[in-house]
Amino acid sequence: MIPVRNMAGTRVAVLGLGRSGLATARALEAGGAVPVVWDDGAPARERAEAEGLEVLDLTRAKSWEGVSLLVTSPGIPHLYPRPHPAIAAAWAAGVPVDNDIGLFFRSFATDDWDGFATRPRVVAVTGSNGKSTTSALIHHVLAESGRPSQLAGNIGRGVLDLDPARDGEVVVLELSSYQTELARALTPDVAVFTNLSPDHLDRHGGLGGYFAAKRRLFAEGGPDRAVVGVDEDEGRYLANQMAEGAGDDRVIQVSSGQRLEGTAWAVFARKGFLAEWRRGRQVASVDLRDVAGLPGAHNHQNACAAWAVARSMGLGPKAIEAAMRSYPGLPHRSQRIAEAGGVAFVNDSKATNVDSAAKALLAFPRIRWICGGLEKEGGLGGLAPALGSVAKAYVIGREAAGFARQLAGIEAEVCTTMARAVERAMAEAQPGETVLLAPAAASFDQYDSFEKRGEDFVAQVRARLGAR
């Protein structure tokens, strides 16, 4: 646990009592603060009371007497599409609003660091797609290379649930736009921007607001080094904003698909080969095509970003390559779960938007595609360039028929349920094909989370393979 510093004796409100909210309340107590907590759900409030926390309805104006700070959980809107009533009440009472990320950056460094031989560092990763894989891969490479490391944020543990830093440790944080948009302190040593595609637009008031939330990590964070994916205009803009000129190697540009020139430090992948260039010459090259945990061009972009971070930490190319080859991948992200009769089965349930699904579709040569769910803004038009490898689509979700009608140019069967989609895809799949779950939609019409959806896919596949 990271005790929250400089809040001893103060009364601090915590809104939202999920994983990060409860960790925040405990960390506040550990630092001597007095947390008062609220959640809109009765079961969450009951769990908090069972832990001895004071539960107080923060939507009421009188609850704010004596409160010096509100810490809100990332899933709770504070501006768009409308502020949560408790946040509006905090504004009215003149109480500052922060989140656990802000508290972490204000509390992580301690006087104990004066005795360390090597100062701990923080790597923060944001972007639309690939940030979980990039974060986990950085953590894996560091750990395999003997560097102490912890992984937290939007993946795994809440940031305040981390252990206090050890000598030379690197903390890797995956940060969503929900986390970066509100944090009052953002001071990573290395900041990573993977890419940008339309997502969470209602929460941020449009694409510009969404990008602005990501950009805060760089513009307000002031990292010592920035690793920036430049395959979209937003990334190119950000790299230009961060660099003092073409010779500024504090900015490492990364790409999947294009050769990067005219920059002091670049890492890019083309046709499956990663290359690192510094000051006009190539200093490393790796063949990624047979790295099982990183299939496809989108994962090669993730590998480039992780490579750049590891190199900025002083790791050598051979050590990084060896660690990447042992990377097992993450559940629900291009996760190869089985192969039978020459047919591969891949779970990419995390492909919840059009861009991430398109990248998954481009990773395999011939696909039986399971897709559908709660459609996001913008429609499915962005999938068109990636549909050439799709032999047939099997559409799930409550609005499966409407989803299927948008898949012009390919055969699509309305299945509605995962069980039916897996049954039909397995019945028709031929050797050399891949049965791929890459929904291009949120899960909430049928599942509590993308993880539950992926687990259902895995269970259905394994049950049918076991029955053969």
Rg (CA), the chain: 23
Task: Tell whether residue 127 is among the known ligand binding residues.
Answer: yes
Q: Is 206 annotated as a binding residue?
A: no
Q: How far apart are CA 103 and CA 26, in angstroms?
A: 13
For the chain, report the end-to-end CA distance as a whole number of angstroms. 48
Other CB atoms within 10 A of residue 214 CB = 27
Is 154 labeled as ligand-binding? no
Calculate the alpha carbon distances from 227 to 32, 182, 218, 237, 317 in Å. 37, 22, 10, 13, 17
**What does the alpha-carbon distance between residue 465 and residue 468 come to, in Å, rounded to a whole number?**
5
Q: Are strands 121-126 and 170-174 parallel, antiparallel or unpaired?
A: parallel
- Give Cα separations from 461 to 276, 386, 391, 433 (angstroms): 39, 24, 19, 15
CA 375 from chain center: how many Å?
20
Q: Tokens for 404?
A: 């299927």
Strand partners, 274: 269, 286
- Placement of tokens 């894989």 in the chain: 133
132 in a known ligand binding site: yes
Q: Is 271 annotated as a binding residue?
A: no
Residue stretches of the annotated binding site for ATP? 127-133
Binding site per annotation, positions: 127-133
